[in-house]
Structure 1
């Protein structure tokens, strides 16, 4: 059996050790703060305070990019603090392009100074766009999460008519190249998949189509998904999926960090109860 990817292994071990399936999303919205210094302090405080209840953290790149150079500096701080806390980092950038541009994105976000342990990737330019990201993830012990069926209501414009299922089959093919044998609880490859928590009726289908993929389930909380609906995304041992909540944690009650902690704990407990 080949060595398991470091990112997938780290997330799975943290899930088992801390009994948490929660991915805490960080979306630092500039209009919520007095200034950049206030934004920085609150974002780092939320990260550190909620870490005991999180399996991983997911910074949304758009909000950091919108801040310019201070945003990139903060992103590096977030990644460094997360690693100090033992939290794997998923960068939510939904990158996807062709040829050398895709290679540059892969170098920047999976191997650069502000790289994450994993990156969300858009496959809708064609499956060849995934190749540099897969290669970079494997080379660095990281992971990617391919958009399969996203949580937004109008996703069906592009992802309907069997397209999501076709992408899922490609994810499974890539993972079959990497890991041998049948799916085993806790053994996941470097190519994961984004499947919206808002698509509860489809979770069992995508779990079956991608048995070796970690599933990232955005939409918990503010987008209306509930933990009680998510059990079909997990394997019997309670591994294999991460439910993401961003606004519902970071801004659970304005900028009250204690409320963020309470929300993270509640989501963790609800997910565990659902399993």
Structure 2
């Protein structure tokens, strides 16, 4: 199945719209062994409440080679749980460099099922990622309207809308109900969700910012398609570090976010 089909199937089967983010922060642990054990424990304990999981590559890269080895371990564990993986790398570049990034993160044993990509070097730079995603049954999530407050410095003035229209254009030739080209739209912009949903009717929406960044489940109904599909909402710190490194607290947080999102749809 395609990424979008797998995500939809899992959403409906487990009745969850939550994406669990994994951001292993070195300063939260005594050593790397503790970081590794906790990260894998959170993944295992919360997967039943997750439609997908999203490792933030920056935190793994910051750990050097052990971090990249842990990323492979995390992805292998997620695959064993049949849990779709969105790698949050926000990659974007030109020509052969974009092709290399696409090979690195959308194919092979260490790759995710989907990748966040940055369109701000020009729309042509998206094509190597889209091509690789389609060839591997995966997906890309194009940054349209990110969750941070200062996104308007670059994404305001109609720029986000232009990117959304390009996402829709790339999605149009695909026969499937949901495209391999998705979009990142922050959960911190609830007043704009209906407009972006209308502009990108076939895109899976990834909504970061639930919890720690101020996004609220009750504000996000407009992101979903009929049947409560077509979008996932990410919580990272609010799950993994809901109460320090308490795994039971992470489970309770994931369950709470899942239930709050289900109440909305």
TM-score normalized by the length of structure 2: 0.99
Deviation at 1:236?
A: 1.5
1:116-265 equivalence runs, <5 A? 116-179=112-175, 187-265=177-255
Aligned to 2:39: 43
Between the two proteins, the alignment pairs up a number of residues equal to: 265
Measured in 2, the distance between the counterparts of 1:243 and 1:209 equals 19
Measured in 2, the distance between the counterparts of 1:214 and 1:171 equals 10
Aligned to 1:58: 54
Measured in 2, the distance between the counterparts of 1:19 and 1:197 equals 20
Aligned to 1:19: 15
Identify the match of residue 111 of structure 1 among 107, 114, 119: 107
1:1-12 equivalence runs, <5 A? 6-12=2-8
Measured in 2, the distance between the counterparts of 1:178 and 1:233 equals 21
Measured in 1, the distance between the counterparts of 2:31 and 2:5 equals 38
Aligned to 1:71: 67
Deviation at 1:216?
A: 0.1
Measured in 1, the distance between the counterparts of 2:100 and 2:93 equals 10
Aligned to 2:263: 273
Measured in 1, the distance between the counterparts of 2:167 and 2:188 equals 21
Measured in 2, the distance between the counterparts of 1:112 and 1:126 equals 26
Q: Where do 5+ consecutive residues of structure 1 fail to align?
A: 181-186
1:66-105 equivalence runs, <5 A? 66-105=62-101
Question: RMSD of the alignment, in Å?
Answer: 0.8
Instruction: Judge conservation of contact 1:60–1:93 (CA < 8 Å) in 2.
Output: yes
Instruction: Judge conservation of contact 1:214–1:240 (CA < 8 Å) in 2.
Output: yes
Instruction: Judge conservation of contact 1:102–1:129 (CA < 8 Å) in 2.
Output: yes
Measured in 1, the distance between the counterparts of 2:84 and 2:62 equals 23
Q: Where do 5+ consecutive residues of structure 2 fail to align?
A: none
Runs of 4+ in 1 over 3 A off after TM superposition: none
Instruction: Judge conservation of contact 1:191–1:213 (CA < 8 Å) in 2.
Output: yes
Instruction: Judge conservation of contact 1:76–1:114 (CA < 8 Å) in 2.
Output: yes
Secondary structure at 1:154's aligned position in 2?
A: helix
Secondary structure at 1:178's aligned position in 2?
A: coil
Measured in 1, the distance between the counterparts of 2:107 and 2:79 equals 15
Measured in 1, the distance between the counterparts of 2:263 and 2:189 equals 19
Aligned to 1:184: none
Measured in 2, the distance between the counterparts of 1:79 and 1:118 equals 12
Deviations 1:198-223 (A, max 9, x none): 00000000000000000000000000
TM-score normalized by the length of structure 1: 0.95
